[in-house]
Structures are given as structure tokens and as C-alpha cells.
Amino acid sequence: MITTLFALLPLLWLIVALAILKVPAWKACGIAAIGTYIIAIWHFDRAPGVMFSGALEGVALAIWPILLVITAAIFTYNLVVHTKAMDTIKTLLSSVTSDMRILALLLAWGFGAFMEGMAGFGTAVAIPAAMMVAVGFNPLKSILACLVANSVPTTFGSIAIPTTTLASLTGLDPIHLGTFISAQLFILNIVAPFFVVGIIGGGFKALKGVFTITLLAGLALAIPELIINMTAGPELSVMVPSIIIMGVIILGAKFLPVDDPDYKVETTTEKITGSQAFVAAMPFLLIVVLLILTSKLVPAINAPLAAIKTAVPIYTGEGAKPYTFTWIATPGIMIFIAAFIGGAVQKAGFGEMFGVLGKTMKNLKFTYITIISVVVTAKLMTYAGLTSEIASTLVAATGSFYPAFAPLVGALGAFITGSGTNANVLFGPLQLAAAHDLNPSFTELPLWLAGINSGAAGIGKMFSPQSIAIAIGAVAPALDSFIESNKVEEGKASELRESIKANVIMVSVLKYFLIFIVADGLIAYFGMSFINVIMGLLGK
């Protein structure tokens, strides 16, 4: 019991420090990293040098690729603002609809799912949330909507890297695993956009007039995702549906128009030509093109680029593997290339662009500290055995009811690491071990629990300090730009800035996290029981 308590201390500290004591995120996470190092050496009896090497590996992982992609994504947004192309994009968006609820679905749900399916690494929160603030959405609501929207596509993000990694690690068939995950997420895929509308509109009363579009937007993810996983595998199971989602929302706005003055956003009658729209959207279009061309979907390009890498031995503990820096075939590099080319097309000089980059990096300095500290904490907890201690205790304590609590394990992994992939690496094997201990003859149980782990990782990511730090890093400069361009009164400006502090976001998103994790627990437990009955009837 004492060992489990010590294992939980870094997590308890983060929750108390951020949500109750209101300690700045970079300080709270820095203290968590230092405290975890001390606990690992003192209570878990790990060698100081080995743990220090684990911390260094955490720093390496945080910088490349996580901070690389965050910096690239926010730089792209800032550059589009600098060139005034964002004004054109805002006009384009308002031409789709003047209803903030539908616009939120388009950006947070549709475009966010697309960014998750293509790039991941926080881009699905950073870019849509910043764009929503630029259009005039409340900054806190924009962050919450994007965090909630991103909870379900995470497991199939970055061309399904979390799911394919889990399949490779556990030896499970990726098509069967993806099918189980999409079946488990089916209900949440449908209800998540309703929460997006509720967050933006101030409650579920906001669904009046947009219920059908919201339902169609949910079904546009749930049904294609399941079909694609069953037939082709997980790689395209979010990227393709995200395009369908955006198409459904745009068509819905056209053929099911709503005119509710309570939810109108300011629109302009200015006409945008096709060439103006193309130039304004150039960086984002190039991001899509480059990410597709350099992904595993195009092996002829991906293979030689992925071969440009350096393996560096950093962690020196048992089972250590060299850390690999992939220099070109990584989303951050592609986003940077797209930004610089797009900026040049928008008539920005390279001096201007580097000036925007420098300002972006300066504004992100506390975000950098926060994310490095969080990743270091995660690595130390993993290498010292704190994470496995927490998970093993949960399995032992819940017994036959463990499947109902299995989502907590996956969510815990993502809360700690901010990554669906890392959550699967941490706890995927544990879920298989738990399945064997619960019922060795139930052949589908390992697939079921592994799938639950992967799906729940997205729910945990909603509440992760790393995700919250990314959201703040993206929205804060967008908010400053909005305040400046709209000459917002100082008192109101201060109120808006205070609303996106880490503690406010964490407290605000907690209720959505709890709703989703409880729902996933019920799906996990009763779904397992249903499969067990079916298998029994089939004599398997």
C-alpha cells in the first residue's frame, strides 16, 4: 500500500497543484519531475545515474518530435495571422455558416479529426482552437471543445500509430484490434459532437435547430471508422471519416440552414475569389499534402526519408534501447516546410518569417518547460516502476470487475505521457496479462481489453497536463492577437487571459473526462459480458 501511495504521489501532486493550489503549470510540472526522480531513487531504489539517463531520454522525446510539431503548428498559425491570410480564412468560414455551433463542429470536430488523423502530436487541439479564437469564439470554450472533440480520434491519430504500435507490441491482429476499438468507441463517436455544441452554446439547449447536423456529424465518424477498420485496417480510419464529417457539416449548413440570433457570429459580405482562398489556405493545404506524401501511405517516399535517422543510446537501464531521432519523416518538419512555402506564396520575406518564428518560440518558453517536465516525469515513472505499480494494484483490487476499470489504466497512461501511443506502450502488455489472469479460455478478452486501453487513452489525453499546455500555448497568442485587433477593453482582456490558465482548464474539463471515462467503463464491462455470451453460444 505504501509503495502504491508513493507511486501515485507525482500524479496527486499535479492534480492538487494545478487544480486546487493554482500553481503555474511549468512550476507544478517541474516540481513533479524532480519529485519523481527523488522517489525513484529513494523509495524504488533505482540508481541515480540510470534515472538521470531516463530523464535525459524524456528531454529528447519532448524536444523531438513533440515540441518540434507544436512549434511548427503554432508558427504556421502565427504566420497566417501575420500575412493577414487569417482574415481571408475567417471570411471563408463565415461563408459556410454564421452559426457558431455549426462552425465549432466544422473546426473542432471535423478539421480537428483531420489534423489528428494526419499529424497528431497536439495539432488537433492547437490549430483548430487557435482558429476558433481568431474567428471570435470564447477562448476557454474553444479549448474545451477541442479537447473533448480530440478524445475519440486519438487512438487512430498520425495514421493510426497508437493502434498499430499496440498491435505490433502485443502480437494482436491490427484489423481485429481496430475493429474492436471502433466498436467500443461507436457510442462516444456519436455523442462527442453533442458535447462540442453544448460547450460552445452554453448547454444542451444549444442543440435546438442543429440536432440533426450534430447527429450526422457523429455518425459520419462512427460508421465509416468501423467499416474501414473491418475491411482495410486502422490506418485511414479517422483521416477518411474526417473528410466525410466536414462534407456532411458543409452540406448540412447549406440544406438545413439555421437562423438563431443567439448563436450568430459576426459575418462579412466581402467576396473572396478562388485564388485568394487558395493563397490564404496554402500553408494548411501544403501540410495535408506533405503529410500524406511522406506518410506510410506512400512507402516510396516515406521509406528513404524515414531512413534518415540517428539512434543515440541515452537511457542506460535494463532493456535499454537507443533513442531514434527521425530527422525528416516527422510531422513537425513537414509542417515547417509547408509554413515557409505558404508564407512565401503569401508574400512574406524570409526575414519576416524568421521574426515570427522567433516571437513564437519566445511566447512558448513556459510551454516548453511544462512539456519537457511532463515527459521527463512520465519516463521516470515508467523506468522506475511507478506506473506499473499503480496499474497492477488496480488489477489486483478490482478482480472480476477489472474490465469496468480498464479504461482508467489507458487514461492514466495518456494523462501521464500526453500520448495515446505511449499509453499503449506502457499498459498494452498489462491489459493482456490481466485478460489472461481473468479468464485464460476467453480468447477475445485480450483484444477487448487492449482495445479499451487504446480508446481510453484519448479520454485521458483530454485531461493531460501536456494537452492543456499545448492548448494554452496555441490559444494565448491567438487571443492576444484578437484582443489587439478588436481593441478589447483592458478589464475584459484580463478576464479572457485568466480564463485559459491551466487550473481553470483542468477544473473545467474534469466533468467531461469523468462522463467519458464512466461511459467507457460501462461499455468495457457490459460489452465484454455480451461477447462472452456470444462466444459461448457459438461454442468458442
Residue 11 has pLDDT above 80, yes or no: yes
Express each pLDDT in 230-252 by its tens digit: 988 888 899 889 999 999 999 99
Closest CA to 386 of 25, 54, 159: 54
Bridge-based pairing of strands 323-326 and 309-312 is antiparallel
pLDDT score at 17? 86
Between CA 527 and CA 306 the distance in angstroms is 39
Q: What pLDDT digit, counting tens, does each position of 480-500 carry?
A: 888 988 888 888 999 999 999
Lowest mean pLDDT among 50-54, 62-66, 79-83, 148-152: 62-66
Mean per-residue pLDDT, 52-56 = 96
pLDDT for residue 540 is more than 80: no
- Alpha-carbon distances, residue 382 vs 46, 55, 150, 200, 305 (angstroms): 12, 11, 25, 37, 30
Grid-cell match 492548448, residue found: 471
**Helix, strand, coil shares, percent, the chain, to 5:** 80, 0, 20
Residue 60 confidence (pLDDT)? 92
Over residues 412-444, the pLDDT tens digits come to 888 887 888 778 877 887 788 788 777 777 778
pLDDT band at 279 (very low <50, low <70, confident <90, very high): very high
pLDDT per residue as tens digits for the range 75-130? 888 898 899 998 888 788 778 888 999 999 999 999 999 889 877 778 889 889 98
Dihedral angle over CA of 197, 201, 206, 212, nearest 10? -30
Angstrom distance (rounded) from CA 450 to CA 446: 6
Q: Per-residue b/e over 390-408, b at no fewer than 16 CB within 10 Å? A: bbbbbbeebeeebbbbbbb
C-alpha cell read off for 77: 498559425
Record the pTM: 0.82
Q: Is 43 helix (H, G, I), strand (E, B) or coil?
A: coil
162 vs 388, residue with greater confidence: 162
Residue 309 DSSP one-character state: E
The candidate with the shortest Cα–Cα distance to 361, out of 57, 79, 108, is 79
Q: Residue 239 carries which DSSP code?
A: H
**Cβ contacts of 429-434, under 8 Å, gap ≥ 24:** 429/169, 429/170, 430/388, 430/391, 430/392, 430/395, 431/406, 432/170, 434/395, 434/402, 434/406
Q: Which grid coordinates are listed for 148? A: 473533448
CA–CA separation, 252 vs 452, rounded Å?
A: 32
pLDDT-derived band at 533 (thresholds 50, 70, 90) equals: low
Which residue has better confidence, 70 or 213?
A: 213
**What gap in Å lies between CA 224 and CA 534, rounded to an integer?**
25
Q: What is the pLDDT of residue 267?
A: 59
Of 276-280, 303-307, 401-405, 433-437, the range with the lowest mean pLDDT is 433-437
- Cα–Cα distance list, 100 to 58, 233, 363 (Å): 40, 35, 29
Question: Which of 79-83, 284-288, 339-343, 531-535 is predicted most confidently?
Answer: 339-343
Gap between the Cα atoms of 349 and 340, Å rounded? 9
Residue 159 has pLDDT above 90, yes or no: no
Question: 141: pLDDT confidence band, cut at 50, 70 and 90?
Answer: very high
Give the residue with greater pLDDT, 14 vs 350: 350
CB 105 within 8 A of CB 157: no
DSSP category for residue 346? T
Q: Which residue has the cell 477475445?
A: 444
For residue 167, the model assigns a pLDDT of 86
Beta bridge partners of 325: 310
**Percent of the chain having pLDDT more than 90?**
50
**Least confident residue range of 60-74, 186-200, 296-310:** 60-74
pLDDT tops 60 at residue 539: no
Q: Which of 87-96, 165-174, 333-342, 387-396 has the highest mean pLDDT?
A: 333-342
Q: Tell me which residue of 330, 281, 305, 357 sits closest to 119, measured CA to CA.
A: 330
Task: Choose between 6 and 92: higher pLDDT.
Answer: 6
pLDDT value, residue 9: 94
pLDDT digits (tens, 9 = 90+) for 446-480: 899 999 999 999 999 998 988 998 899 889 988 98
Give yes or no for residue 56 having a pLDDT over 80: yes
Which of the 8 DSSP states describes residue 21? S
- High-pLDDT (> 70) share of the chain, %: 98
Read off the pLDDT of each residue in 20-46 and give the average, rounded to a whole number: 92
**Maximum Cα–Cα distance across the chain:** 70
Question: What single-letter DSSP state applies at residue 540?
Answer: -
Complete DSSP assignment for 148-215:
HHTTTTGGGHHHHHHHHHHHHHHT--HHHHHHHHHHHTHHHHHHHHHHHHHHHHTSGGGGTTTHHHHH
In angstroms, rounded to a whole number, what is the distance separating the alpha carbons of residues 513 and 506? 10
Q: Which of 312, 292, 294, 315 is nearest to 303 (CA)?
A: 294
Decide if pLDDT at 268 tops 70: no
Q: Residue 374 has what pLDDT?
A: 80
What's the whole-number mean pLDDT along residues 374-381? 85
Amino acid at 141: K
Average pLDDT over residues 264-289: 83
Q: Which pLDDT score is estimated for 535? A: 58
Predicted confidence (pLDDT) at residue 538 exceeds the cutoff of 70? no
Q: Which three cell numbers stand for residue 371?
A: 512539456
Is it the case that residue 225 has pLDDT exceeding 80? yes
Rg, the chain, Cα only: 22
Closest CA relative to residue 93, chosen from 203, 249, 205, 204 = 249
- Residue 111 is classified by DSSP as I
Given this model, what pLDDT does residue 160 score?
84
pLDDT at 537: 59
The more confident residue out of 37 and 381 is: 37
- Position 269 pLDDT exceeds 70: no
